[in-house]
Structure 1
């Protein structure tokens, strides 16, 4: 089979970009397309070793692994070992699943491919079939990772958070709640639902007294707090629906920032905290519910 350098570079760069993009999505890592493109090109250029017999030592496993490390660093710039290991392991899982799906599809379609010496080459590059292979791989990877995550245990869904307001802060444990789709109707910002007791010290004394007087979330609390609110903190109304309550109302406020104390220490500024004047967890494992969107 005749191998053309420009097609070899293009095909491997495209495949690398797809794998890196899927890795980005599954690890929820912030990066930009320029970094992904540069990293993809690095992987594509690496395949040129097939044209130079003197460079065939580059096709050994250790060199392939070093190149994959370089690609991860260029694409995502991981600043902790834990983050790097998460990225590199996901990168290889995605690579293996994608390669298996693509090879099976191309084999069944009787398309000529060449795999060897560290390169992947498809004759008469079938872009439609590649897209189909990507779709199958996405479903397989999502199903596999979803199954693994469901077996990990609930404790992995807990994230320590820190809420800051007016130079005061509180620390608490939060649960990632996939059922929490609550957003502020005015700003469309995601809402973190937090127990009043957990953030009591952040609130003005007059507001604390009102929440202590009314144990349930009702219109008496809403109307009284809104009338007592001042410039120190600006409250807003957040309508919600729950089992047995179609027209509920939470009081919320915009904190100065919320810090997710995980491996990334992600800082959130465009967020709303909704105050829940009751207990969220019967065994007090957590005192807040995180909107899943903020983890993306």
Structure 2
């Protein structure tokens, strides 16, 4: 019998990833992208079948591998969540095993007088294809859902002076309450590359102190009369704000180039 190790690893990776996703979806637990690493670990574990080692194939060791896979994947870990996840993972494995074994009866002859052997099992690839479809569909659905959530907090911003008008996208940061302490005006943080032609004299500048987790300091800002914002299905609204320059890139995907404090809205 010829065994292709690469095919075994790929097939088991798909099965493990499918079972992990089913487990966390059923329990409604959030998971890290390290779920793929967990699926790889589970796939590599199948290689122990090629070694005559009773310890590695024992039930306690299998449970330890399952616990490791769950711990690597979960975002928040505690004893109860780990136990529930491991039990759900094992139950899902048994259900899938039972279903695939049942499907094998469709293509292989079975007699109570002889031992049962699986000589033909082409339906296996259909099952794996369905798993792949589920995995891809789930990732696409999660991506669309995340993008939809973000888009609800994206606002159009128009900043104008005598020389130039710019249009940028701003993300409403509901946890951001940054205001200028003297005027109590809310602040909009904008990437500095967009504000090169919006110069101001030092006397017109504001200094806004800020404090975040692990960082604190001061931002330089200035006031512009013509600042408008517009959300989805909304009209343009003139806002009285202080514009602050930011040296860092605010979005890796360039979805937005400004941050709005909740006072702006």
Classify the TM-score, shorter chain.
0.3 to 0.5
Larger Rg: 2
Higher helix share: 1
Please report the TM-score for the alignment, with normalisation by the length of structure 2.
0.42
